[in-house]
Amino acid sequence: MELCAHGSGRGLWTGFLRSAQLFPDRPAVVAQGTSLSYRQLRELAVRIAACIQAHRLGSWTPLTAVFAHRSPTAFAGVLGSLLAGNGYVPLNRTFPVERTRSMLVRSECRSIIVDAASLPQMDALMAGADEPLLVIAPDLADPRPYRERWPRHTVVGAPDLEGYADWREPDVPEDAIAYLLFTSGSTGVPKGVMVAHRNVIAYVDHAAERFAITERDVVSQTFDMTFDLSASDMFVAWERGACVCCPSQKTLLNPGRFIREQALTVWFSVPSMVALMKQAGLLKPGGFPSLRLSLFCGEPLPLSSVEAWAAAAPNSIVENVYGPTELTIACTGYRWNPKRTPAQSEMGIVPIGAPFPGMEVLVVDEHLDEVGPGADGELLMRGPQMSLGYWQDPGKTAAAFVVPPGRSDVFYRTGDRVRRPAGDGPLTHLGRMDSQVKILGHRVELGEVEAVVREASGIDGIVAIGWPITSSGYGGIEVLIEGGPVDLDGLRAAIAARLPDYMVPRRWHVRGRLPRNANGKYDRKAMPAVLGDSQ
């Protein structure tokens, strides 16, 4: 099939197209037991892109939702969105439908790519669509029943995609949105982080070189696409012709078997997965000889975990990388060294290292003034990986992206407490400065949990805390309720319908009065002492 292509600007898709020319028959992705070569993935993605371009109206927001989960369609959907000149907005069918619908509506997407397993939720999503949608379902053999159910919308199935061949390579500005990711927000409404093509390209260029990725690599994809670390797996691998290997949720229950059966060479996960494997006795010395590179991000990395992993993967370099979504995937890195690392770690946590090329670090006090060497403070960063800010929220953007005193450039406030290196030592991570916590690698704003519980219960006195403290963050969320009475069974059901599993409180505590400080505010530091019995 001949496909016409025009355009000369570099976009996030450029590396994939180059690899598709160089390595057309090598595997690009393995998902749901299906392997797609670069040629096959390119052809499907281009047809999706051509379809979006053919139906695009001048007033469309240049974003496409990808409602697909760990499937070939998910990967083709991401590429198809980009090849159409749109950014992609990943949606997750494992999230409550109400949350997913909110993301779809707020993003103003006019096109959505959906896989077979996500189709059953589409009726509920369509109920919130004010504008007609272009629904592309590459797995749908017969779209006619869906056209009858959704007469306001355009439904394109597998047979229809065969007719879309007139694709034009887009020419997008470097500041165009490559992806829009919704993260936990303090008001109960998720924040949409706008990440530009130039942001991701800056990361990919450095990561592909730093990690020496080649077409012979087989790269894990343990992250859902709603987690920005998934972008590293995809685009760094595709930049160099490597294969992305995406396990099912069931397969991830035994990561060791996944590594061995797929002969993975590159592993990337949150540190808590290592802790679970260690606890389950899955980290046998020499158990993962195929791995040459192991990356960890999303949570503090305990020394005990990395030591066990290094023994299980004796041929692997191990790196701890750090970066919030607003700074594009990862922006600092630290290479494990068994002789040097223990002495450089604090509180048994591996350092986060040094900034990536072009990224500048500033460690500041509460007035945003720089602290001295060896002192701790909030980490601020700027550089080519700093994102565009928050989708349709100039207030939150202005609060998080600031110009410190005596500086002329904008820095992002990470909210993370770090120690400024003395001399040429690495940055060490000391925890969060605000109410954000890490649960199983996910960044959770406790204020969002409180807002949802407050709305569902009708009670104002709600405090959410991360508890218990673990080596990689927190074991879960617990909620304290002041007053009552409370229908806890009904409240649990209401919360489970609104929040992802990792944000649903694991225990509930009803108290007549919660601790307060001298200012009359809830004393969050005193909350663990009054937990006691739970319901």
Q: Is the peptide bond before 357 cis (omega within 30 degrees of 0)?
A: no
Q: What is the CATH number of the domain that holds 402?
A: 3.40.50.12780
Same domain, 301 and 401: yes
The rounded distance, in Å, linking the Cα atoms of 248 and 299 is 22
DSSP-derived letter for residue 486 is -
| 3 state DSSP class of 173 | coil
First-residue to last-residue Cα distance in the chain: 62
Domain membership of residue 177 (yes or no) is: no
Same domain, 147 and 108: yes
Domain membership of residue 9 (yes or no) is: no
Domain boundary among 172, 188, 208: 172
- Tens of pLDDT, residues 480-526: 998 778 889 999 999 999 999 999 999 999 988 788 653 345 787 88
The rounded distance, in Å, linking the Cα atoms of 470 and 304 is 13
Domain membership of residue 204 (yes or no) is: yes
Adjacency order of strands within the sheet including 469-470: 442-445, 436-439, 473-474, 469-470
Same domain, 461 and 358: no
Please name the residue that has the structure tokens 């990440």. 195
Domain membership of residue 158 (yes or no) is: yes
Domain boundary among 399, 432, 465: 432
What angle in degrees, to the nearest 10, is found between the helix axes of 38-55 and 14-22? 140
Structure tokens given for 407: 């500086």
Query: CB within 8 A of 129, min separation 6: which ones?
Result: 104, 105, 153
Same domain, 396 and 475: no
Same domain, 418 and 290: yes
Q: What is the CATH number of the domain that holds 99?
A: 3.40.50.980
Domain membership of residue 371 (yes or no) is: yes
Same domain, 135 and 245: no
The rounded distance, in Å, linking the Cα atoms of 300 and 471 is 7
Structure tokens given for 85: 């000149």
The pLDDT value given to residue 332? 99
Tell me how crowded residue 421 is: count the other CB atoms within 10 A of its CB: 18
Domain boundary among 413, 432, 451: 432
| 3 state DSSP class of 47 | helix
The pLDDT value given to residue 1? 31
Same domain, 228 and 367: yes
Same domain, 93 and 113: yes
pLDDT by position in tens, the chain (length 535): 333 333 336 899 999 999 999 999 999 999 999 999 999 999 999 999 999 999 987 667 899 999 999 999 999 999 999 999 999 999 999 888 988 999 999 999 999 999 999 999 999 998 878 889 999 999 999 999 999 999 999 999 999 999 998 999 999 999 999 999 998 766 667 899 999 999 999 999 999 999 999 999 999 999 999 999 999 999 999 999 999 999 998 898 899 999 999 999 999 999 888 888 887 889 999 999 999 999 999 888 888 889 999 999 999 999 999 999 999 999 999 999 999 999 999 888 899 999 999 999 999 999 999 999 999 999 999 999 999 999 999 999 999 999 999 999 999 999 998 999 988 899 999 888 877 788 988 888 787 888 888 889 888 778 899 988 887 788 899 999 987 788 899 999 999 999 999 999 999 999 887 886 533 457 878 888 888 655 5
Domain membership of residue 192 (yes or no) is: no
Same domain, 262 and 328: yes
- Tens of pLDDT, residues 117-174: 999 999 999 887 888 999 999 999 999 999 999 999 999 999 999 999 899 999 999 9
Domain membership of residue 20 (yes or no) is: no
Instruction: Dihedral sign for Cα 122, 391, 387, 201, please.
Output: positive
Domain boundaries, position 249? 198-432
Q: What is the CATH number of the domain that holds 462?
A: 3.30.300.30
Same domain, 413 and 447: no
Same domain, 42 and 102: yes
Strand pairing class (63-67; 111-114): parallel
Domain membership of residue 191 (yes or no) is: no
Same domain, 168 and 117: yes
The model's pTM is 0.85
Looking at the 3D structure of the chain, how many domains does it have? 3
